[in-house]
Amino acid sequence: MYIYNEVDQKIVDERVEQFRDQTRRFLAGELSDDEFLALRLMNGLYIQRHAPMLRVAIPYGLISSPQLRKLAHIARTYDKGYGHFTTRTNIQFNWPKLEEVPDILAELAQVQMHAIQTSGNCIRNTTTDQFAGVTPDELEDPRPWCEIIRQWSTLHPEFAYLPRKFKIAVTGSPRDRAASQVHDIGLHLVKNDAGEIGFEVLVGGGLGRTPVIGKQIRPFLEKKDLLSYLEAILRVYNLKGRRDNKYKARIKILVEAMGIDAFREEVEAEWANIRSSELELTEVEINRVKSFFQPFDYDAEAGNDTTLQQKLDSDEAFRVWYERNTHNHKVPGYTAVVVSLKPQLQPAGDITDLQLDVVADLAEQYSFGQARSTHEQNLVLADVKNADLYAVWQKLAEHNMARPNIGTLTDMIVCPGFDFCALANAKTLNIAEQINQAFDDLDYLYDLGEIRLNMSGCINACGHHHVGGIGILGVDKKGEDWYQITIGGSDREDASLGKVLGRAVAADEVADTLKKILEAYVEQRTEEERFVDTVRRVGVAPFKEKVYAAAH
């Protein structure tokens, strides 16, 4: 992974002191609420329902064992012993004290971490595939490009007061595991007819109250032009994006209003001014950054292991976990492990200080000292030897991180909802618990196959409900929580927005409604057909009928 040099370290150290002074001036009444709001947001600090919330950046989801231990320490010392992983692959703490935040940032800086641009109307953490660098289906490792974007976007003087937040995702595989099509900019590493690798560039995707799938602005961008092209898009957006209404301020609205062709023309005209400038990436720099992401020193003998098969044959629970919670590795004898943060009785994405320490230890002992966070709110140990999988599984199981539900209905993305968030209209955690209780039969879940269930507690869509195979949106109706259900969404390479099933259902009816939807799926599906494909083939009607017919 990328290791800070003196300059990188200096920037986070200076940022800590800058924020310490801003906090001091705010507490002394020298800084207005409005100004401090924008400044603290750019450092990941929200004021939530009960307390401030601090969101810490995990650049493109890559994190080391010492960093995980530092997060555990922060959870223990400054919070109530836990943190929450987000769809931006960051972690947030729900109970820090405002006056202690500068100290937390100073602690983070000790392990090359920070909260820079984890919120606010600026360029946010760039995200990528959690299996980057290890998945066999990859064209090229996207992480060096994420790091190049991280450096360019960090404290960018021109783009700190954009019309609205700005999110970039990069993928290196035709299988999209980063929801790249619902980002302000999605970058796909692709090969052109000449056999060169560059980027397909999408722009104007996003969720929130107006969900939009990104549009292609450029089919192929040479690697050296990456930053000049991004800068051209950002400059056009900064100048032309709407600022009169925050709900119409994202780049997706600008692209829709101008039309992609007119938007492209503006970008290309601006790009022509800056393409051949110092923004052009040099081979030396690209190679320097790539040198931090070289393959590990893998054991050439690992592929000869026979113990894994023995364990799979002899231990049913292990076999079930292995089939569900692991991903192929491109090196023979290695496997990527998904650490499930979707246990039955805890909010999705939550992790305790002890669990953070356990993952840190496992990473150190079995996975070259690194872990990754996923946009589905799980963790990954990407480089585990097959011979070690059993030991890893046992340890994860002991600490409630081995529920074999990855990719199934209960591997839900869930925002914190009304229990924590000041924006939320409805609770989500109680509904997730209801679903967990109703769908605890693993055989049934496995029979249903791959289903992405996403839930948000308000229209801002932090839980990505529009792109869930099943999406649940909490709404407030006269002081009561109701839930609107959509079906048929996807955040993968076949990205699509879910369609509304019908009228919202009451809080205590959500799990039963899901049961009916899934009954309809089982009736309608052809062999091997995923839920989302069935919805696409037969439409919403059969599902609607199943859910609402009985009520009349």
Partner 1 sequence: MPLLIDRKLVTDDSWQLVEEADSLPQSGDLLVPLALYLEQKEALDAHSDRLAVKVNGDDDLTPVLSDLERFPMIAIEFPIFRDGRGFSLARILRRAGYKGELRAVGQPARDQLGYMERCGINAFEFDDESYSDDFLKAFDEISVRYQGSADDPRPIYLQN
Q: Site for partner 1 (CB under 8 A): how many residues?
A: 42
Contacts to partner 1 from residues 107-146, by CB under 8 A:
121
Is the dihedral angle over the CA atoms 217, 244, 156, 64 positive or is it negative?
A: negative
Q: Which of 7, 28, 345, 550: binder of partner 1 (CB under 8 A)?
A: 7
What residue type is 378 in one-letter code?
A: N
Q: CB 39 → partner 1: shortest distance, Å?
A: 6
DSSP for 82-94, written as a single string: EEEE-TTS-EEES
Q: CB 47 → partner 1: shortest distance, Å?
A: 17
Residue 155 makes contact with partner 1 by CB under 8 A:
yes
The CA-atom distances, in angstroms, between 324 and each of 186, 342, 343, 402, 435 are: 28, 13, 14, 10, 19
Place of tokens 């995990």: 58
Q: Which of 196, 285, 447, 494: binder of partner 1 (CB under 8 A)?
A: 285
Nearest residue (CB) to partner 1, 121 versus 410 = 121
- How far is residue 27's CA from residue 20's CA, in Å, rounded to a whole number? 11
Nearest residue (CB) to partner 1, 42 versus 53 = 42
Q: CB 290 → partner 1: shortest distance, Å?
A: 13
DSSP for 346-376, written as a single string: S-TTEEEHHHHHHHHHHHHHHSTTEEEE-TT
Q: Provide the mask over 229-258, with x wherever binding to partner 1 is found by CB under 8 A and - wherever it is not.
A: ------x--xx---x---------------
Q: Which of 112, 154, 386, 496: binder of partner 1 (CB under 8 A)?
A: 154
Residue 521 makes contact with partner 1 by CB under 8 A:
no
Q: CB 505 → partner 1: shortest distance, Å?
A: 38
Furthest C-alpha separation in the chain: 69
Strands of 52-56's sheet in order across:
45-47, 52-56, 91-93, 82-85, 350-352
Please report the beta strands in 369-469, taking only residues with DSSP state E, as ranges in sequence order.
370-373, 379-385, 413-414, 453-456
Q: CB 533 → partner 1: shortest distance, Å?
A: 44
Nearest residue (CB) to partner 1, 16 versus 487 = 16
Q: CB 538 → partner 1: shortest distance, Å?
A: 47
The answer to whether the beta carbons of residues 544 and 484 sit under 8 Å apart is no
Q: Which of 4, 95, 152, 446: binder of partner 1 (CB under 8 A)?
A: 152
Taking phi over 0 as left and psi of -120 to 50 as alpha, with beta for the rest, 245 belongs to: beta
Q: Which of 49, 76, 80, 156: binder of partner 1 (CB under 8 A)?
A: 156
DSSP for 460-473, written as a single string: T-TT-GGGSSEEEE
Nearest residue (CB) to partner 1, 106 versus 448 = 106
Q: CB 79 → partner 1: shortest distance, Å?
A: 27
Q: Which of 29, 157, 195, 479: binder of partner 1 (CB under 8 A)?
A: 157
| Binding region for partner 1 (CB under 8 A) out of 52-60, 197-205, 275-283, 482-490 | 275-283
Q: CB 281 → partner 1: shortest distance, Å?
A: 9
- How far is residue 260's CA from residue 495's CA, in Å, rounded to a whole number? 18
Q: CB 226 → partner 1: shortest distance, Å?
A: 12
What residue type is 514 in one-letter code?
A: L
| Binding region for partner 1 (CB under 8 A) out of 18-26, 104-112, 416-424, 534-542 | 18-26
CB-based burial label for 40 (10 Å; 0-12, 13-18, 19+): buried
Q: CB 407 → partner 1: shortest distance, Å?
A: 37
Q: Any idea what DSSP says for residue 300?
A: T
Q: Which of 1, 22, 207, 336: binder of partner 1 (CB under 8 A)?
A: 22
Task: Please list, in sequence order, all residues whose beta carbon lies within 8 angstroms of the beta carbon of residue 510, skipping any fewer than 6 positions away.
Answer: 431, 434, 435, 472, 483, 485
Is the dihedral angle over the CA atoms 457, 460, 466, 469 positive or is it negative?
A: negative
Nearest residue (CB) to partner 1, 5 versus 526 = 5
Residue 3 makes contact with partner 1 by CB under 8 A:
no
- Burial call 61-88: b when 16+ CB within 10 Å, e when fewer: bbbbbebbbbbbbbbbebbeebbbbbbb
- How far is residue 57's CA from residue 41's CA, in Å, rounded to a whole number? 13
Q: CB 150 → partner 1: shortest distance, Å?
A: 9
Residue 494 makes contact with partner 1 by CB under 8 A:
no
Q: CB 248 → partner 1: shortest distance, Å?
A: 15
Contacts to partner 1 from residues 26-45, by CB under 8 A:
31, 34-35, 38-39
Q: Which of 14, 196, 398, 447: binder of partner 1 (CB under 8 A)?
A: 14
CB-based burial label for 348 (10 Å; 0-12, 13-18, 19+): buried
Place of tokens 């790249």: 180
Residue 503 makes contact with partner 1 by CB under 8 A:
no
Q: Are strands 185-191 and 197-203 parallel, antiparallel or unpaired?
A: antiparallel
Q: CB 430 → partner 1: shortest distance, Å?
A: 36
Nearest residue (CB) to partner 1, 19 versus 334 = 19
Q: Which of 33, 193, 261, 278: binder of partner 1 (CB under 8 A)?
A: 278
Strands of 334-339's sheet in order across:
62-64, 370-373, 379-385, 334-339, 326-328
The CA-atom distances, in angstroms, between 371 and each of 217, 357, 384 are: 33, 12, 11
Residue 279 makes contact with partner 1 by CB under 8 A:
yes
Residue 282 makes contact with partner 1 by CB under 8 A:
yes
Q: CB 9 → partner 1: shortest distance, Å?
A: 9
Residue 159 makes contact with partner 1 by CB under 8 A:
yes
Residue 448 makes contact with partner 1 by CB under 8 A:
no
**Binding residues vs partner 1 (CB under 8 A):** 7-8, 10-11, 14-15, 17-18, 21-22, 31, 34-35, 38-39, 121, 151-162, 227, 235, 238-239, 243, 273-274, 277-279, 282, 284-285, 288
